[in-house]
Amino acid sequence: MKADLIIAGAGPAGLFAAIQAAENNENKKIIILEKNSSAGKKLLISGSGQCNLTHEGDIAQFFDHYGENHNFLLGALYTFDNQKLMQFFKDRGINFETARGGKIFPKSNQASDILNVLLKEIKNRNIEIIYNSEIKKVRQKDEFFEIKTIAQTLKSKYFLLAAGGKSFPKTGSTGDGFKIASSLGHNIIEPRPALAPVIIKDYKFKMLSGISLRNKEISLWRNDELLKRWKDDLLLTHRGLSGPGIINYSRYMQRGDVIKIKLLNYSKEELEDNIIKKIRREGRLNLLNLLIKYPLAQRLIEKILELADIDGSQNAAHLKKEERKEIVELFSSLEFKIKSLADFNRSMVTRGGIDLSQINPQTMESRIIANFFAAGEVLDIDGDTGGYNLQAAFSTAYAAGTEISQRL
């Protein structure tokens, strides 16, 4: 079978790139090959099934949310920004609402509504999706790409890779795109889980699972050296730490690193002075009742006292100096050593992928193979939680699709 454009992957990047490529090209044959029996499986579970499509605010504010590779997205995001993405769907009957923190969701809170719009546009443009078509081999022969699936061999002048990463492999994201790109001569930056919770070594807080800590200062240490410091929310889990303050920075973390959490908004000196003043005023209280006046969950304070082997039932006035300093240290710098990051089954996106130095950031075309394009998570881009990854997928797909449209 011969086509003008073949796209690998019927996720948001593949579908949207096809829609753009088909613009003003009614007589061109565009085929999407999808290994699953249906399209958009990962899109349907995004945002817990509610589809956090993008984020509010000026697009200039987005670039701090893509780690070290944010510069690659400058052209793509400014050309097709969050407002244009929402307008595309608004024009097709989707209304949006803004949730806590600026996340944008369809008002229906149904990811299927977003997918249905894309599939309707695919149908209206006579774009063919061939399901259950896992790609086994791709090679460039003469001026065409030869794409072999289990059932057939297809030929196309243009080939766009939008096969996703490795996160949530049950949705079909098993790293196929990396193998295809590598076979075509591209360097692959090692894929790793991103937007992942961390598993903590010798974790002592299992029974406190579900406790959230809002806007805490978090620092990351490696070999006793400070790597990063930031403020955000986090969550205690059964096995470790999660929440945006952890998963958004997991791209920088590795086994053996130490996470330190500042539980209260005081310096160590200020906290010690504050405790001393409290004891002077209310020393008749037992220690636990004195400490629960700080804005922390009582169960967490009880656990910290247990770990420090300090009796919370003792009269606060009887607190020894060394005990006071131990409390100050734990409240100011509660340490957790990373055993591992959660695997691809629990990570939201993939860090790593096609080396960006080999991709033109304006068109998403390969710099080493003409007429070969890539978009979405198969590229070495990972954003924070909050709609940034879907925005990147749509923006890179728009760049690739519009370039191919002009060439067709």
DSSP 194-207: ES--EEETT---GG
Residue that finishes a domain, picked among 289, 310, 342: 342
Helices vs strands, H then E, count in the chain: 12, 18
On whether both 212 and 332 belong to a single domain, the answer is yes
Residue 246's H or E segment, with its range, is helix 244-247
- pLDDT over 90, % of the chain: 91
pLDDT, position 67: 87
Distance CA 62, CA 387 (A): 10
**Count of domains forming the chain:** 2
**Residue 353 parent element (H or E):** strand 349-354
> What pLDDT sits at residue 209?
96
Residue 332: domain span: 197-342
Residue 8 sits in the same domain as residue 148: yes
Residue 202: φ, ψ to 5°: 50, 50
Same domain, 248 and 151: no
pLDDT in tens, 15-73: 999 999 999 998 999 999 999 999 999 999 988 899 999 999 999 999 999 988 999 99
Give residue 404's pLDDT. 98
**Residue 116 DSSP one-character state:** H
Strand 54-55 versus strand 212-222 pairing type? unpaired
- CA distance linking residue 55 with residue 329, whole number of Å: 38
Residue after which a domain boundary falls, among 304, 324, 342? 342
Distance CA 246, CA 69 (A): 19
Q: Are residues 145 and 48 in the same domain?
A: yes
Specify whether 137 is located in the same domain as 122.
yes
Structure token pair of residue 120: 């309707």
48 φψ region: left (φ > 0), alpha (ψ -120 to 50), beta (else)? left
Amino acid at 80: F
| pLDDT for res 47 | 83
Residue numbers of the chain with a pLDDT score lower than 50: none
CATH code, domain carrying 141:
3.50.50.60
**Whole-number pLDDT of residue 265:** 94
- Are 269 and 128 within one domain? no
- Answer yes or no: do 188 and 214 share one domain: no
Domain shared by 151 and 22, yes or no: yes
Round to whole Å and give the CA distance between 72 and 351.
15
Q: What is the per-residue pLDDT for 173?
A: 85
3-state SS assignment for residue 182: helix
159 with 50, same domain: the answer is yes
What's residue 181's pLDDT?
97
* Residue carrying structure tokens 């005023």: 281
Same domain, 178 and 203: no
Give yes or no: residues 355 and 328 share one domain. no
pLDDT for residue 102: 95
Residues 6 or more apart whose CB falls under 8 angstroms from that of 389 comprise 195, 348, 349, 377, 382, 383
CB 317 within 8 A of CB 222: no
